[in-house]
Amino acid sequence: MKRLVACLLLLFRFATANLPAQESATRPRATSPAPAPVQAMSTAKAEKAASPAATKPAAKDPLKTTFGGNLLGTPSDQPVTTEIYADQAFFDSQNYMGTFSGRVVVKDPRFNLQADKLTVYLAKGEKPGLEKAIAEGSVGMMQERPGENGGPPMRSIGRAERVVYTANDGNVELTGMPRVQNGLNSHMATSPETVMLINQSGQLTTKGPSRTELRQEPKTEAAPKP
């Protein structure tokens, strides 16, 4: 998500340097149903954090392993290219915000996101940067990571009608019958009032009625040797 923040910030600065407020829309396409790309951006981390002292690995949290995981990915020290596709884009320099609408698709090496609308709010003052991002309308997030012990890749999926990311605490809030799935296990709201909150450590908290499904594959016995 930090890479997406930097990319959007660069795009916003470029837009405001040329026009105080501008709106762009793709031309109608008769044959291709896919949305036109708004911008492809590449960023790299300016400084690498100092290597921490070698410590004993902490024991795995079974609950976090079951439902944890940051749906928006983790920071990377390598250059990352994030692509944002949308039918329309609007940049408002006076209010420090940018809006993408119409079949919004965000493609990042660490995660994919789709929504009907994506609004980005930038912080004002001496420390510019992302303040908040809001995805609305049939929001879907997906992250795939390598499986344990050489197993198949693990896929984390989140769905909601509205997803809000706040930069100051790194929290991701899902509302509108949210649902998260990690591998075979899933956790879903059973009431429109249910709210799910995923913090920057990947821990999930649910407020309101919900249902949890835990699935386990049957054990397969090795075929006897002839």
Q: Which domain holds residue 171?
A: 2-44+63-213
Considering only 73-82, 191-200, 214-223, which range has the smallest mean pLDDT?
Answer: 73-82
Query: Coil, strand or helix: which one is 65?
Result: helix
pLDDT tens-digit series, residues 75-124: 556 666 778 899 999 999 999 999 999 999 988 787 789 999 999 898 88
Global pTM value: 0.64
Name the domain count of the chain.
1
Answer whether residue 22 is part of any domain.
yes
CA distances from residue 87 to 76, 90, 128 in whole angstroms, order as listed: 29, 11, 27
Answer whether residue 226 is part of any domain.
no
pLDDT tens-digit series, residues 186-197: 999 999 999 999
Answer whether residue 184 is part of any domain.
yes
Q: What CATH number corresponds to the domain at position 159?
A: 2.60.450.10
Answer whether residue 49 is part of any domain.
no
